[in-house]
């Protein structure tokens, strides 16, 4: 019996998400010739809008509207792209986000997560959203990660804390603070926050990635990791005590390390993931090393969620030239993390 399918949400339909998903399905045979293949998935979004975008981009995309609870996604996938149809309030226009469709965009995420909760799907891959359009319609979260944490609490119970990881074959990075101004990072850091983030990271590296004893490198905040307090005090007052607490609890963590010497090939051989203190400290190196292959993974949830590591790309939407490589990587990683033998939490 085939495992439950993967689900890919539409994201903002005015962005490149619809054409990426069309190209993924059309290129599935070529992708299957590469390592791991391309597993079956269903698209959660507007079928009519997807058909229109594919056609406008010169792609003949066969679509099969389906019910994830009743239809065999694996069987459908061979001949057509399965679509869990959620109509938009208004036709999308490439490059022009429309708050009128905010409810459908959010609804696609809620539907996909709900299907996983019911055991009808095994993982969620999200296409990029445009948060400003959603804020105008009452969306109150900084991004996907925080919203998924709320959905997990609502459906599974408890108080899960969602943690963002960017992952590629060469590098995995976790920012301890994420979407806050740089001026607020120092005040936001605490021993407790670093310790909690590291424990969530280590647990999912074991459960989702199969790393029995994860090694965590921890960045300093300041240049030269503070240089013994002469360039900053956060390393001595917050980061080093957090690392000591982690080591005392059995986590193989080391640092604080100067970030400028932590991402070359020789350094990467020493660890399985890096805990960075702020957003760009984590994302600049991975986007330099693996811009087209990096995947956004949400840790700490009772289900698997991945996403391509790029935005809506409104500037090229509708032109048929968006590269699906990161979305393909996100689909493959979601399949590996949720496949047979994966110790998926909450399952």
Query: Could you tell me the residue ranges of all domains in the chain?
Result: 1-160+304-347, 163-300
| Residue, of 16 and 145, whose pLDDT is higher | 16
Mean pLDDT confidence for 77-100: 94
- Does pLDDT of 272 surpass 50? yes
Task: Give me the chain's average pLDDT, please.
Answer: 92
**What digits encode the pLDDT tens for the residues 293-331?**
899 999 999 999 999 988 999 999 999 889 999 999 999
Percent of the chain predicted with pLDDT > 70:
95
**What digits encode the pLDDT tens for the residues 122-134?**
999 999 999 888 8
Q: Is 252 in contact with 215 (CB distance < 8 Å)?
A: yes
- Does pLDDT of 150 surpass 90? yes
- Torsion-angle region of residue 171: left (phi > 0), alpha (psi -120 to 50) or beta? beta
When pLDDT is cut at 50, 70 and 90, the band that residue 141 belongs to is: confident
Side-chain-side CA neighbours of residue 277 (13 Å) = 30
- Does pLDDT of 345 surpass 70? no
- Does pLDDT of 55 surpass 80? yes
- Does pLDDT of 34 surpass 50? no
163-300, CATH topology level: Isopropylmalate Dehydrogenase (3.40.718)
Residue 105 CA to residue 347 CA, distance in Å, equals: 26
When pLDDT is cut at 50, 70 and 90, the band that residue 287 belongs to is: very high
Enumerate residues 6+ apart whose C-beta is below 8 A from 178.
142, 143, 145, 164, 279
Q: Is 16 in contact with 316 (CB distance < 8 Å)?
A: yes
When pLDDT is cut at 50, 70 and 90, the band that residue 114 belongs to is: very high
**What digits encode the pLDDT tens for the residues 171-214?**
999 999 998 999 999 999 999 999 999 999 999 999 999 999 99
CATH of domain 1-160+304-347: 3.40.718.10
Asked if 1-160+304-347 and 163-300 have one fold, the answer is: yes
């Amino acid at each position: 019996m085939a495992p439950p399918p993967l689900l890919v949400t539409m994201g903002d339909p005015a962005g490149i998400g619809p054409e990426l998903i069309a190209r993924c399905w059309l290129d599935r045979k070529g992708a299957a010739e590469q390592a791991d293949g391309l597993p079956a998935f269903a698209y959660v979004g507007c079928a009519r809008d997807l058909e229109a975008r594919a056609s406008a981009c010169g792609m003949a995309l066969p679509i099969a509207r389906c019910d994830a609870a009743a239809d065999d996604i694996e069987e459908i996938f061979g001949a057509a792209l399965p679509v869990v149809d959620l109509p938009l309030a208004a036709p999308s226009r490439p490059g022009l986000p429309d708050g009128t469709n905010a409810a459908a965009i959010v609804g696609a995420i809620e539907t996909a997560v709900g299907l996983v909760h019911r055991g009808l799907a095994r993982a969620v891959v999200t296409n990029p959203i445009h948060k400003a359009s959603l804020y105008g319609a009452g969306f109150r979260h900084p991004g996907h990660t925080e919203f998924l944490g709320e959905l997990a609490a609502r459906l599974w119970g408890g108080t899960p804390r969602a943690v963002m990881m960017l992952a590629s074959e060469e590098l995995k990075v976790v920012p301890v603070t994420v979407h806050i101004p740089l001026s607020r990072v120092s005040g936001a850091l605490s021993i407790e926050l670093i310790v909690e983030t590291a424990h969530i990271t280590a647990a999912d590296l074991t459960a989702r990635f199969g790393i029995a004893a994860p090694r965590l490198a921890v960045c300093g905040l300041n240049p030269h990791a503070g240089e013994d307090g002469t360039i900053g005090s956060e390393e001595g007052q917050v980061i080093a005590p957090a690392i000591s607490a982690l080591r005392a609890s059995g986590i193989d963590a080391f640092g604080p390390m100067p970030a400028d010497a932590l991402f070359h090939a020789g350094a990467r051989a020493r660890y399985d993931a890096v805990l960075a203190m702020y957003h760009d400290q984590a994302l600049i190196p991975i986007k330099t090393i693996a811009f087209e292959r990096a995947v956004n993974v949400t840790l700490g949830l009772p289900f698997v969620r991945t996403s391509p590591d790029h935005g809506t790309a409104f500037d090229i939407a509708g032109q048929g030239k968006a590269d699906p490589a990161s979305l393909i990587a996100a689909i493959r990683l979601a399949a590996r993390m949720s496949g047979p033998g994966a110790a998926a939490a909450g399952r």
